[in-house]
Structure 1
Amino acid sequence: MLLLECTKNSKIHNVFIEIRTFCFLFYFQIEDFVEQHGPNLPDGFDTESATPLDYFWLMFPVRLIAMIVRYTNSYAAWKQAREGHDKYWEDVTEPEIRAFLAVNMVMGIQQLPQMEMYWSSDPFVGNTGIQQTMTCNRFVKISQYFHVSNREEEPVRGREGYDRLFKIREIMTVLVDTFMQGYTLGREVSVDEAMIRYSGRLSFRQYMPAKPIKRGVKVWMLCDSNNAYLSKFQFYLGKTNNEREHGLGHNVVTDITSHIQHTNRWIFFDNFFSGLPLLQSLIANGLYACGTIRINRLGFPAELKKPRDVKNRGDMKILQLGDSNVTGSAWMDKKHVHHVSTLSNPNDVRDANRRVNREVVQVQQPHSVWSYNKYMGGVDLHDQLRVNYNIGRNGKKWWKYLFWFLFNCAVVNSYIVYKEVSTRLTKKKRFRHVDFRVELQRQLIAGYAKRKRSVGDQLGQNFPLVAQENMGSSREH
């Protein structure tokens, strides 16, 4: 049963007023999306020869390796000046930090309960590649002094200029830029939250009992709905004193989509963010939106909250707000499902298959339901690609969890770009995500060995060093 009813706007904004008689719907228009989406590769980048490491440097610029070396060595010196000389420490080098990052990637693929087990002499437990690359003691020492910020310049808590994310601010700023510049998003994008697991003491740690990861740091993410490319992210630091009138969800979506305004993209989000003021604000800034909505949100029409004429599976009721693009819908699946949208023509009804006992039944659904189900999963897909191979060992330092999150996101983004544009021939018929990571970690190691025997002898020399034309130097300055 399909019930379309037109509405008029009232003096009170964001309120639907139902006209009891059927009438012609107001004119509904959506502007075309005209941008050319896809990777933004530097001049001269050869997709026929570029390896996983070439793509990784596009997301995680090679200059960050030198920065990590500098800050790790300076932190070790700062620490020893206060606590005494560490006779087991020697300064790290760029090849060693690259190998250290690669070893952590290996640990994300082959996960063992204790770190020392990777250096076990038991052939069924130990990892020969890691053992040939770096000793256990050296790995522990680098982990102890590993730093990605200048400890001597860190502002004191409570003083002007204090930044709770200072320890990762510099590297985060670089990655925010490379992620946004590295890929032009398609028309459909999704906004959602993710959690970084952390159970230690932290002022902005969140507790979300309904989530698989119940305690940790919350991060807002904007991803391409079709391939899960992460374009922008924000760490949630808790409530602030300058919250604007529309609330947290409205602010997050507005901020995280600020760089794609006036592009006619379609933004999808869930009922945590949805609200009529947000949809009206987005469409005023050239963005269409669609999302589920909580029925107690201000301005959501009472006629759609528990409609008596929507009681059988496939029944629906759609209301339009005046002559605007804003529509609200109630659709009966197993229970009432509510959406608001500015991209869904009320006349557009799609078919859907639902299983009833052992039979598959075809029902109808509004365009808002169909499009939300199809395009909302971008962040979840990126999350899945990331957590399948979690990088970084458990520890006390909260900022390391955030660093490994960013590092892993760079790996996932580089894999997505590789999969989309690479024409390189490989020995494998299907070059999977894990294959990309294995080759990337081999190239990061690139023959480095803290022991006498070269890791190249163990892992093979099939992967050449990065070609100069694929370094992306034009993007690093």
Structure 2
Amino acid sequence: MAAPEHLRRASAANAGSFLACASSDDGEDVEPQVEPWESDESVVEEVESETDDDREPYSEDNIVVSDDRSVSGSDSDDDDERISRPRVPARSRGSGRGGRGRRAIGGSRQNREQESDDSDEWREDWESVDRVDYSSRSGPTRVFAGEIDAITCFNLFFTEIVWQMLVINTNLNAVAKNAGQQGQRPWSPVSVEEMKTFFGLLILMGYMRFPRIKDYWQTSIPILKCCLSEVMNMTRFWQILRFFYVVDPANELSRDDPAYDKLQKVRPLIDLLQASFKTEYGLRREITIDEAMIPYKGRLGYKQYMKDKPTKWGIKVFILAEASTGYIYKFDIYTGKKATAGEHGLSTQIVLDLMEGMDGKGHILYTDNYYSSPTLFDLLWEKQIYCCGTVRPHRKEFPKQLRALPRKKDVHRGFYRYLSRRHLMACVWFDRRFVFFLSTAHAPRLEDGTIPTTKRKDGRNSVNLECPPLLEPYIANMRGVDRGDQMTALYNVGRRSKKPWRRIAFHLLEAAVLNAFIVERQLDPEREGAKRDFRSFRLELGVALVGNFSGKKRKGRKRQRPDKRLDASLPHLPISERKRGQCVCCSEKARKAKARKVTTGKNFRHEVYTRCTACDVHLCIAADRNCFHEYHTLSKF
């Protein structure tokens, strides 16, 4: 059966187009024209491996000029230049969501040349580079004569300035909220000694957790009979907790003010602790940056959710810590997107802010894939700060040759490949999955030119797998922040609260306690080992803060007053009234019988009309009982 006429015409047109590409007008053979996206196999593999979410839609704003220049949405200055839109292959025009097609694989000519230059810059060989040797002093900056205890190290961070600030602002807040007015419990100003006792009790409460604060004052629990209740009564503790404040209430700004700070309620404490953390300790060479979470589930604009953290919901804190000990050197509480995030993005700007003032010291910074990027590592290299960390393979300037990977089932465990660019080394390693690394602090091989190995489980057996030289240092030094979180989580002083600033303030207290413990262990060599743990340190610190303080009123002997009921000089005369009242003598007998759990079957309480004129109490005068006589003659009736 003959084909339809329109199909024959289309077939002839396609054949003519192919012949025109195969030969020129003068009969000479010409190579067929191949589009850039058809010749670059690595780019094709990369794009095919990407998900639809990673691909950018094709934009008509990018057009190519005949002299290899690219403009975006604007005409060229030279009117003679010929501007044309690049032809997009059919597969890149797919009908995506909302009618938006996928981006062209080749992109503009300038972008293709830039990608080619970046790929050519990465090489498989490695040239050693010179790095600055770390020579700064590490550890505590002060030297103490004599024995070091917990309270001495804690006072390095919670100085008298901090205590005075907390006391003054707490008393001002109590006055602003009319504490002790009519209908409320009497309020007395807090002193420095009492504020230290309050913080000491908070630390001791973290040592032994109860579901509610009032449970610590339960006298029915034998272990607590001579504990908190002997130091401060529950009413006074609740008062201090209620009116506790860090900033002067009169200096708070409204949300409409341009200078409003979301952390203004704790900003003075943050500034004081930040300064003391940096002046009292010198970091070692290996440092790390990671996030920590302050638990909070209330309503808050900058509350975050992190599925990989033990605390899923809360306030995120970016921390610069020492890798080996977990000492918190600097921190930044995340309060939302900032207008001045910088040209490099949020994650890069956070690292640059935390590393400010540490130039030229030769630190080695370990980060995870949230922060790592070639751009960041190049910026820190210029400041003589070296970096190492995992990286997301689609980061800008990451070598595309390392993205074109085989399938997992076709790769053996221990697969390792690296590329280098001047001082930067990028590599991929496969164990259970592909892991990508960047480093300016490590070479791709050992000094003798070999590749190290690491032990991994293979069923019941262990196997030695080839691995990058940076793997073991990264695993050992990336745990600094997590190590501190693990230590403070066991005995945390934080309590559930509707006020997020209070959770932040208690978290700062935990950071100071942790740093004090690290300082003590390094100042006292005998406590560097397992002889001194964090639990015993907290117990000693809490007891030292409480000291000899006692908020209980002294019990003295009551002043003996003469009992007028036994005074025979007074006119004790019985009179009869129209209104009845309970006999006080019978009521006292009934109370004593109930206390002795004596049941006689008789009603000891009687209502009578007789009242004593001198004592102004009702008393019985009857044939079977004479309470009037007993009341005025017997000392115990």
With the shorter chain as reference, the TM-score category is 0.7 to 0.9
> Is the partner of 2:467 in helix, strand or coil?
strand
1:32 maps to a residue whose letter is D
Instruction: Indicate whether 1:282 and 2:380 are aligned.
Output: yes
More displaced, 298-307 or 267-276? 298-307
How big is the shift at 1:124?
5.0
Counterpart of 1:393 in structure 2 is 495
Counterpart of 1:384 in structure 2 is 486
Instruction: Indicate whether 1:422 and 2:524 are aligned.
Output: yes
What TM-score, normalized to structure 2? 0.65
Query: Given that residues 321 and 480 in structure 2 are in contact (C-alpha distance below 8 angstroms), is that contact kept between their aligned partners in structure 1?
Result: yes
Counterpart of 1:311 in structure 2 is 411
Distance 1:14 1:317 in 2: 20
Structure 2: runs of 5 or more not aligned: 1-112, 556-637
> Is the partner of 1:58 in helix, strand or coil?
coil
How big is the shift at 1:188?
0.3
Distance 1:81 1:152 in 2: 16
Which of 325, 345, 348 pairs up with 2:423?
325
Instruction: Indicate whether 1:360 and 2:458 are aligned.
Output: no
Which of 539, 551, 554 pairs up with 1:438?
539
How big is the shift at 1:332?
1.1
Matches for 1:21-100 after TM superposition, within 5 Å: 24-41=125-142, 45-46=144-145, 48-80=146-178, 86-100=184-198
Distance 1:261 1:85 in 2: 59
Cα 1:352–1:195 shift into 2, 3 Å:
same
Cα 1:244–1:450 shift into 2, 3 Å:
same
How big is the shift at 1:448?
0.4
How big is the shift at 1:305?
2.1
Matches for 1:166-205 after TM superposition, within 5 Å: 166-205=264-303
> Is the partner of 2:357 in helix, strand or coil?
helix
Cα 1:16–1:268 shift into 2, 3 Å:
farther
2:551 maps to a residue whose letter is K
Cα 1:424–1:55 shift into 2, 3 Å:
farther
> Is the partner of 2:241 in helix, strand or coil?
helix
How big is the shift at 1:394?
1.2
Query: Given that residues 118 and 125 in structure 1 are in contact (C-alpha distance below 8 angstroms), is that contact kept between their aligned partners in structure 2?
Result: no
Q: CA RMSD, aligned part only?
A: 2.5
Which of 127, 140, 163 pairs up with 2:238?
140
Distance 1:74 1:431 in 2: 40
Instruction: Indicate whether 1:15 and 2:15 are aligned.
Output: no
The C-alpha deviation readout for 1:350-408, integer Å capped at 9, x for no partner, is 32110111111112211222221111111111111221211132111111100000011
Distance 2:129 2:214 in 1: 63
Query: Given that residues 18 and 319 in structure 1 are in contact (C-alpha distance below 8 angstroms), is that contact kept between their aligned partners in structure 2?
Result: no
Aligned residue-pair number: 437
Cα 1:306–1:76 shift into 2, 3 Å:
same
Distance 1:114 1:346 in 2: 55
Distance 2:530 2:441 in 1: 40
1:132 maps to a residue whose letter is E
Query: Given that residues 363 and 385 in structure 2 are in contact (C-alpha distance below 8 angstroms), is that contact kept between their aligned partners in structure 1?
Result: yes
Structure 1: runs of 5 or more not aligned: 1-9, 455-477
How big is the shift at 1:181?
0.9
Matches for 1:284-299 after TM superposition, within 5 Å: 284-299=382-397
2:480 maps to a residue whose letter is G
Higher Rg of the two aligned structures: 2
Distance 1:11 1:83 in 2: 74
Counterpart of 1:461 in structure 2 is none
Distance 1:249 1:39 in 2: 30
Counterpart of 1:212 in structure 2 is 310
> Is the partner of 1:118 in helix, strand or coil?
helix
> Is the partner of 1:330 in helix, strand or coil?
strand
Matches for 1:220-369 after TM superposition, within 5 Å: 220-308=318-406, 311-321=411-421, 324-348=422-446, 349-369=451-471
The C-alpha deviation readout for 1:220-273, integer Å capped at 9, x for no partner, is 000100111110000001112232222111011110011212111000010011
More displaced, 160-169 or 119-128? 119-128
The C-alpha deviation readout for 1:108-159, integer Å capped at 9, x for no partner, is 1101111111111123564632111111111111111011110111111111
> Is the partner of 1:26 in helix, strand or coil?
coil
More displaced, 185-194 or 160-169? 160-169
What TM-score, normalized to structure 1? 0.86
Distance 2:530 2:389 in 1: 39
Counterpart of 1:463 in structure 2 is none
Cα 1:297–1:371 shift into 2, 3 Å:
same
1:178 maps to a residue whose letter is S
How big is the shift at 1:301?
1.5
**Percent of residue pairs identical:** 30
How big is the shift at 1:208?
2.4
Cα 1:334–1:81 shift into 2, 3 Å:
closer
Counterpart of 1:405 in structure 2 is 507
Query: Given that residues 28 and 345 in structure 1 are in contact (C-alpha distance below 8 angstroms), is that contact kept between their aligned partners in structure 2?
Result: no
> Is the partner of 2:466 in helix, strand or coil?
strand
How big is the shift at 1:12?
6.2
2:236 maps to a residue whose letter is R
